[in-house]
Amino acid sequence: MEKPIIFTLIAPIFNEIENLPILYERIKNVMDQTGDTWELILVDDGSSDGSSDFIRELAGKDERIRPVIFARNFGHQIAVTAGLDYSRGESVTIIDADLQDPPEVILDMIEKWREGYQVIYAVRSEREGETWFKTFTASLFYRLIYRITEVKIPLDTGDFRMMDRKVVNVMNSMREHHRFLRGMSAWVGFKQIGVNYKRAARLSGETKYPFKKMFKLALTAITGFSFVPLQMATYLGFFAAAIAVIAIPIVVIMRFTGSQSFFGQATTLIAVLFFGGVQLISLGILGEYIGRIYDEVKGRPLYIVSESPNDFITNTDRST
């Protein structure tokens, strides 16, 4: 009988070949200090720089490494989701592969987990090596989400977090396609607590989250957890109707009393352009939600795996 796994670590990998060897060494170093069983799930999210081969090689050498290799790039949130699906540990930790999340913080998380906390999220008390633009937009984003959603997603937290098996089971039952994991793990409840850490600079390579992807994630977060954008159309509508009720009689009276104030087409043009804009924006917001509904209705799988951990078990025991 194999010993049950206590700790699962999940690292999503998208072209991280330079970081992988150091990631493995540092995680091994930290996890071996616990004296407990652990596994590291490396989810290869369609890398093209040889990361996949390195992961395969690592799995051949160390059976605690469990590779999940995707058929193509599905994105960071989906890669982590696959890791959660394959996880077997009593406690599951999500960590970035670029070593911006120092593996050493896991030891603090384990302490909290042993105290009985079920979600231990890492709070970035400081950030290193990121542009002011990224820091600024990120901070703006966290505050916006905090205000407009009902789920109180802790400020300045990323996906670096430890979750108890109970929480992971609930998360795994939530099969939405547009995923914002840190929101989902706040939404489930349970006993949550933060630990502070200093977010390091990326060890090597470029960020895999350019502005476009960040923006997409922000939209997913907002649409996934809030109706406020949809309700904005209603509020704007009431506001415009209120103006109309006041303005119409005033304009009519002024016209009949011979005022020249509304002479010409400028006023008409301005009103048409303004409300044309407002209506198109409202339609676009509707479209965002409808597109997401469409994606859910299609019911496609969240990801396609070309090689799963079971493919890497070399002996005859394929029971797990």
Binding site for Mg ion (CB under 5 A): 96, 98, 100
Residue 32, classified by CB atoms within 10 Å of its CB into exposed (0-12), middle (13-18) or buried (19+), is exposed
Task: Determine if 208 is a binding residue for ligand UDP (CB under 6 A).
Answer: yes
40, 58, 69, 75: which one binds ligand UDP (CB under 6 A) = 75
Smallest Cα–Cα separation from 160: which of 212, 98, 116?
98
Task: Kindly state whether residue 197 participates in binding ligand UDP, applying the rule CB under 6 A.
Answer: no
How many angstroms separate the Cα of 21 from the Cα of each of 27, 54, 204, 205, 230?
Answer: 10, 9, 12, 14, 46
Shortest Å distance, C-beta 151 to Mg ion: 24
Under rule CB under 6 A, how many of the chain's residues touch ligand UDP? 17
DSSP 3-state assignment of 67?
Answer: strand
CA dist., res. 320 & res. 307, Å (int): 15
45 binding partner (options ligand UDP, Mg ion, none; Cβ < 5 to 8 Å by kind): ligand UDP
Which one of 5, 6, 8, 16 is in contact with ligand UDP (CB under 6 A)?
16
* Cβ 19 to ligand UDP shortest distance, Å: 8
Listed ranges 11-19, 25-33, 184-192, 257-265: which one lies at the site for ligand UDP (CB under 6 A): 11-19
Q: Segment near ligand UDP (CB under 6 A), from 34-42, 70-78, 104-112, 145-153?
A: 70-78
Nearer to Mg ion, 64 or 76 (CB): 76
Classify burial at 105, counting beta carbons within 10 Å of its beta carbon; exposed 0-12, middle 13-18, buried 19 or more: buried
- Our finding on whether 100 is near ligand UDP (CB under 6 A) is yes
Are 41 and 87 contacting, i.e. CB atoms less than 8 angstroms apart?
A: yes
Q: Which of 202, 185, 125 is nearest to 156 (CA)?
A: 125
Residue 98 interacting with ligand UDP (CB under 6 A): yes
Site for ligand UDP contains 157 (CB under 6 A): no
Nearest alpha-carbon partner for 148 in 216, 229, 253, 73 = 229
> Which partner from the list ligand UDP, Mg ion, none does 14 bind, CB cut-off 5 to 8 Å by kind?
ligand UDP
> Which stretches of the chain bind ligand UDP, using CB under 6 A?
12-14, 16, 45, 73, 75-76, 79, 96-98, 100, 202, 207-209
